[in-house]
Amino acid sequence: MELVLSFGYFFSFVFGLCIGSFLNCLIYRLETEKTLKGRSFCPHCKHTLGWKDLIPVFSFTILGGKCRYCKKKISWQYPIVELITALLFLLVWHTEITSLGFAFIAIINTLFLFYIVASFVAIFVYDLKHYLIPDKILIPATIIAIAYIILTYQNFFNYLLASAMASGFFLAIYLFSGGKAIGFGDVKLAVLMGFLLGFPNILVALFFAFVIGAIIGVISILLNKKNLKSEIPFGPFLIFGTFLAHFWGQQIIFWYFNIFA
């Protein structure tokens, strides 16, 4: 059993690295409006990359962060996305196996969460770079999350309530501000958050999203990188709050009521 558990940790991390590498490719091809067909290539010189150029993190390190062919710098986005995805996959595996053991539902939950985590990482990076949440990633993830809730016989009303509450709140902000305070993509992202977290975890996610967003905003202003009229993408904060709520939401709620109740 210990051997199986250890292999699960190893597999989750390596699989996460590979998925992170794929996400980098997906993000770039969404940016350039290219399809996923065809082999990977250097974004600078367009030289087709071989397998030894595509080993997650390792290739970047060995090449000194430069393209093997044109010697131009490779963005730090690539190893960072790969490592973060791997660590999140590792956390998913640990959380599911710790709480449910090796039951069949734990494996199903893990595979589902791998997909959701990958979607959120891609949305996080894309929104951070372009102030836009891509529907090509968001809509399929939302449909799969809804289907998952139905097929696993969970309390659908609870998740629907959380989704309606979060998206309704952001829709009101969007309409009241004429789209200046947040984008409509955040409204759609809130739908997915609700169907992933349910109630009351959605409240934890929203709380941390606003707190972290406010802190980052103030720091950016103090460093003269932003002013009060500058745009700051809110999607990354919502995703960060979602991760906190999913993995530690119940503990946070328990801690809160123990202190303030």
- Per residue of the chain (261 residues), give pLDDT as tens: 677 777 888 999 999 999 999 999 999 888 877 777 777 877 778 878 877 878 899 988 988 888 888 888 988 999 999 999 999 999 999 998 877 777 778 889 999 999 999 999 999 999 999 999 999 999 999 999 999 999 988 899 999 999 999 999 999 999 998 888 888 999 999 999 999 999 999 999 999 999 999 888 888 777 766 655 557 889 999 999 999 999 998 888 888 777 766
Per residue in 237-251, pLDDT (tens digit) is: 999 999 999 999 888
- Cα separation, 117 vs 109, in Å, equals 12
Would you give the distance in Å from CA 22 to the centre of its chain?
14
Q: Structural domain boundaries of the chain?
A: 131-261
Side chain identity at residue 173, one-letter code: I
Region label for 33, one of left (φ > 0), alpha (ψ between -120 and 50) or beta (otherwise): left
Using DSSP, state whether 6 is helix, strand or coil.
helix
Per residue in 190-229, pLDDT (tens digit) is: 999 999 999 999 999 999 999 999 888 888 777 766 655 5
Q: pTM, whole model, 2 decimals?
A: 0.91
